[in-house]
Amino acid sequence: MKLIATLFTGWILIFSSSAPLSAHSEGATSVHEVSAQSAPTAKLEVQRDPTGGFNVRVVTTNYLWKPESASMAYVPGQGHAHVYFDGVKIMRIYNEWFHLNLFQFAKKPGEQLLTVELVANDHAPYTTNGLPIGAEQLVNVLSSDLAPKEDNRLREVGLVLIGAVLAIGVVITLLATKRWKNSQ
């Protein structure tokens, strides 16, 4: 029985560790609505990096980057930013510069939307008139920017082999247990 439990646990670990993780799972439960006069602003300066991806500068006004206060209490006018690529949250940034690694985040070639949303220390977005404060820009993803496609056939064959070995182990254990009980 211990062998079966061990095999089952191993099976679960193999499959649970192969699932990709999402970027960030914390979520804000509120927003910080600010007046248009005192609202922070953001604009993006995006330059293609010769070695791949883009170097991005988030130019802000009325906003203080406070990386040491991330996940802390709300203080008006300060915080960090959440970055989205093609509608998916990919990272937090704590100052005005970051590198957008297309090899890691891009899934297809063509124009895709880069969005930076200014958020308070508590991760709640700043809004004006109900709209998030930030900036967005289309970036052109080239086919050469994409990660090489993974050949999943080898992985699938490996998983089938592992499954077969586990099944054989279970059968052998059951037969040995039955033989042992019959000899008693």
**2 pLDDT band (50/70/90 cuts)?**
low
User: CA 78, CA 123: separation in Å to the nearest integer?
Assistant: 11
Q: Copy the structure tokens of residue 160.
A: 């089938």
Q: Where are the domains of the chain?
A: 23-145, 150-183
State the pLDDT at residue 150: 67
Predicted local distance difference test score (pLDDT) of residue 1 = 53
Check pLDDT > 50 for residue 83. Answer: yes
Q: Say whether pLDDT at 23 is over 90.
A: no
pLDDT tens for residues 87-138? 999 999 999 999 998 878 888 899 999 999 999 999 999 999 999 999 999 9
Class (C level, CATH) for 23-145: mainly beta
Average pLDDT over residues 11-26: 36
- Whether 153 contacts 160, CB under 8 Å: no
